[in-house]
Every structure is written in structure tokens, then in C-alpha cells.
Amino acid sequence: MARGVIKLAAIAGLAKQARDYARKNPDTVSSAIGKVEAAVSKKVGPKYAGHVGTGGKALRSGLGIAATQPTTQPTTQPTTRPTTGATPLRADETIQRPPTS
């Protein structure tokens, strides 16, 4: 019985250390979790991708860091042509640049 209590206390201490480290270095920890998620997803395939993502979110939540890193959303506004500056590009158009010499 005493061994079980000692082991539980040791595990609780390690968990606290992990949470403290994650709170001080959230980007590093989140990146490491992302790499593990990618490796596991690659190994198990798309069948369990949802479970892998849920596990990563739960781990981040348990460590007290943001569930996901903020991502930049692509703009929905059309870009303008550099030559005229006024005519928006269509979705199927690309900007043609002269070759550099």
C-alpha cells in the first residue's frame, strides 16, 4: 500500500513539473505535441486522425496551454494588379511578372 502512495506522489510531482514547464514554454511544448500528433497520424492513417487531434487538445488543456496556435486566415479580398492598382484579380488569374535578367 505504501509503495502505491509513493508512486502516485512521484507521478503527481512529475505532472506538476510538466505543467510548469509547459506554462513557461508554451510554443516549444505545443510544437512538440504537434510533431507527435503528426507522427502518430502518419502511422495510424486517416481512420484515427480525429482521435489523435482530440488527444492533442486534451494534452494541451491538461498542461494549461492554448489548444491551438492562432493561424492567419487568407484574405477574402481580391488582390490588385501591380500595374494599374485598381482592377481586382479574378480567382483564376495570376500575376505575370517579367523575367529577371
The domain locations on the chain are 2-63
- Please say if the pLDDT value at position 2 is more than 80: no
* Encoded amino acid at 8, one letter: L
Quickly list H helices, 25-73.
26-44, 49-63
Q: What does the DSSP 8-state code read for residue 82?
A: T
Question: Are 57 and 67 within 8 A, CB to CB?
Answer: yes
Kindly report, residue by residue over 4-49, the tens digit of the pLDDT.
788 888 898 998 998 899 999 999 999 999 999 999 999 998 888 8
Q: What is d(CA 13, CA 6) in angstroms, rounded to the nearest whole number?
A: 11
Q: Full-prediction pTM beyond 0.75?
A: no
